[in-house]
Structure 1
Amino acid sequence: MTDQPWQWDEKTWRGHVEHVRAGRPLRPAAWPGGAKVAVALSFDSDHETPALRDGDVLPGKLAQGEYGARVGVPRILKLLRKYNAPASFFVPAVSALLHEGEVKSYVDAGHEVALHGWIHERNTALTETEERDLAFRAADVLEGLAGTRPVGIRTPSWDFSAHTLAITRELGLTYDSSLMADDDCYELLENGEPTGVVELPVEWIRDDAPYFMMDRFASLRPYTPPRGVLSIWRDEFDAAYADGGIFQLTMHPHIIGHRSRLTVLDELLDHIAGHDGVWFATHAQIVDHVRQELK
């Protein structure tokens, strides 16, 4: 019979905590061009993959995902052009294969394409072999479509297994963006040892999904008006600006791409662009800059 957590000895509970841990902070001495804040916009182009992952193959859920590719992505690209804001698109390989030309549209517009699983799988439900196979297959697909191999990963649903960091290192990736131990970048430790992998942290309060997702057969309902979310995100940016740090945001084309929500994103970007010393950058660009702290 497995011991309950309250029965674990110190070696056991300490081992769980220290398996993947935040290492040294990577706050740079300055941002490029003397900027006061780095703004890291990101979009998880999940589209139909969460439904496919769950075996929900009827038209209803798939159409909701298709909206992201058909309507959300073109609107988002247009808005990013308006503010000359490069962003990072984390793309499941199946999404990339389903929507011909989408990955190329990101690259052509100067955005980053990064890993987001094969079919938005739940990493913690996989064996180590399965997780590794899907990660390497996904990297091959994105490299073929984007013309360059991804340098970063965001695990689907920010689901981080006991093997994820080791697989990330095997892939030769420079960064992850799935964990939440800081506001700014930090180096990941594996069992107490520095890995050289940079974490560009996320947070649920800076993600559109918790505020806006809807499932009529579950208790999942949108609970915050779009302008309420604008207020939260604006305050997050203002604090990052005052602190000289990073403002990182995670969005999804099939969620943020609706009219009333994209209006809010437009207002947020207008607020950000109204400040002096703002550096809009991809996750990879920010990580490249902060990695100088590792040298």
Structure 2
Amino acid sequence: MSGGGGAPRPIRHPWEWEEHEWRWHVERVRAGRSLKPARWPRGARVAVALSFDPDHESIPLRDGQTQPGKLSQGQYGARVGVPRILAALERSSVPATFFMPAVCALLRPEEARGYTDRGHEVGIHGWIHERNMELDPKNERDLMFRCVDTLERLSGRRPVGIRTPSWDFSDHTLAISRELELLYDSSLMADDDPYEILADGEPTGMVELPPEWIRDDAVYFPMDRYTDLRPYASPRHVLGIWRDEFDAAYAEGGMFQMTMHPHVIGHRSRMVVLEELLDHIASHPDVWYATHADIAAYVKEQAGDGS
């Protein structure tokens, strides 16, 4: 029964919405003007933004899965994957962005500080990889503010960008991000290249560096013995997809953005693929390797007034 003795409000299906209702949902958070610059720094043809989400144990912990088996898979990412990734980046002299859940940084503060000490960026990636669309606004805000403070204290630098866990984006995520005065987000997927985020049709000045599942290792490789989740592609098959994505970005003079996870890409056969991808990129002249923060700052500066 509904409170106050009144009849419960009937559930209205989307096909019953008035135009102003569905239009309001669509327009709340949208892609604004493209921020793809006319040129990249030092005459580069393409901007390469490599990112890694060191989720480690946070995903099973988020779901209340505390069994040693699940947690060991996350530990692999920190114990084996991260050192391999850092070594590969160092060999290629490539900076990257690491979007790190705060709980993972608290478990391994030396890892968080190690990223920034090596010239990489640390960005926000939730408290415990929570699903923010299941949170009320107060809890989402509290967790995001705690994330920023924790990552700043442990990494030595205040984060300027966010990638929401699982790329979920609640009705309140953008407002909280703006309250934190973040420079950029990397969770929305309305373009291949950087763009400005609109809120209710108005420019926010916040940059979006769009990811995409095509350029995410977690789409191709994960395995769960108790569900239908099985790897469906070999690493070398995936390398072909990623090379084609880079080649097209290079031809268009755009941005090539990648999302990877130490517990996924960090295995031997997959690291071979990552290193071959780095070699393929390096075989091209005029490539700008940059953190997400550096790209966001550059495109915003190039856009000038109104961004």
TM range (shorter): over 0.9
- Residue 142 of structure 1 pairs with residue 151 of structure 2: yes
The counterpart of 1:183, out of the listed 192, 205, 209, is: 192
The counterpart of 1:88, out of the listed 59, 80, 97, is: 97
User: What code does the residue aligned with 1:98 have?
Assistant: L
SS state at 2:207 partner: strand
CA distance in 2, matches of 1:189, 1:172: 15
Which residue is equivalent to 1:68? 77
- Residue 163 of structure 1 pairs with residue 188 of structure 2: no
* TM-score under structure 1 length normalisation: 0.99
Query: Is the CA contact (8 Å cut-off) linking 1:118 and 1:134 kept in structure 2?
Result: yes
CA distance in 2, matches of 1:143, 1:237: 32
TM-fit CA distance, 1:146: 1.4
TM-fit CA distance, 1:100: 3.0
CA distance in 2, matches of 1:37, 1:100: 33
CA distance in 1, matches of 2:217, 2:264: 7
Which residue is equivalent to 1:201? 210
Query: Is the CA contact (8 Å cut-off) linking 1:196 and 1:294 kept in structure 2?
Result: no
The runs of at least 4 aligned residues of structure 1 exceeding 3 Å deviation read: none
The counterpart of 2:106, out of the listed 88, 91, 97, is: 97
User: What code does the residue aligned with 1:23 have?
Assistant: G
Which residue is equivalent to 2:15? 6
> 1:10-25 to 2 correspondence within 5 Å?
10-25=19-34
Query: Is the CA contact (8 Å cut-off) linking 2:109 and 2:154 kept in structure 1?
Result: no
TM-fit CA distance, 1:104: 1.0
Per-residue Cα deviation, 1:118-142 (whole angstroms, up to 9, x for no partner): 0000000000000000000010000
Per-residue Cα deviation, 1:72-101 (whole angstroms, up to 9, x for no partner): 000000000011000000000000011130
TM-fit CA distance, 1:167: 0.5
CA distance in 2, matches of 1:150, 1:185: 19
Which residue is equivalent to 2:130? 121
CA distance in 2, matches of 1:266, 1:84: 12
The counterpart of 2:232, out of the listed 217, 223, 233, is: 223
User: What code does the residue aligned with 1:55 have?
Assistant: G
User: What code does the residue aligned with 2:262 have?
Assistant: P
The counterpart of 1:48, out of the listed 51, 54, 57, is: 57
CA distance in 1, matches of 2:75, 2:108: 9
Bigger Rg over Cα = 2
Per-residue Cα deviation, 1:39-64 (whole angstroms, up to 9, x for no partner): 00000010000100000000011000
TM-fit CA distance, 1:29: 1.4
Per-residue Cα deviation, 1:215-242 (whole angstroms, up to 9, x for no partner): 1111111100000000000000000000
Per-residue Cα deviation, 1:115-171 (whole angstroms, up to 9, x for no partner): 000000000000000000000001000000111210000000000000000000011
Structure 2 stretches lacking a partner, 5+ long: 1-9
CA distance in 2, matches of 1:219, 1:15: 36
Which residue is equivalent to 2:257? 248
Query: Is the CA contact (8 Å cut-off) linking 1:123 and 1:131 kept in structure 2?
Result: yes
CA distance in 1, matches of 2:36, 2:247: 18
Query: Is the CA contact (8 Å cut-off) linking 1:186 and 1:199 kept in structure 2?
Result: yes
Structure 1 stretches lacking a partner, 5+ long: none
* TM-score under structure 2 length normalisation: 0.95
User: What code does the residue aligned with 1:228 have?
Assistant: H
Identity of aligned residues (%): 67
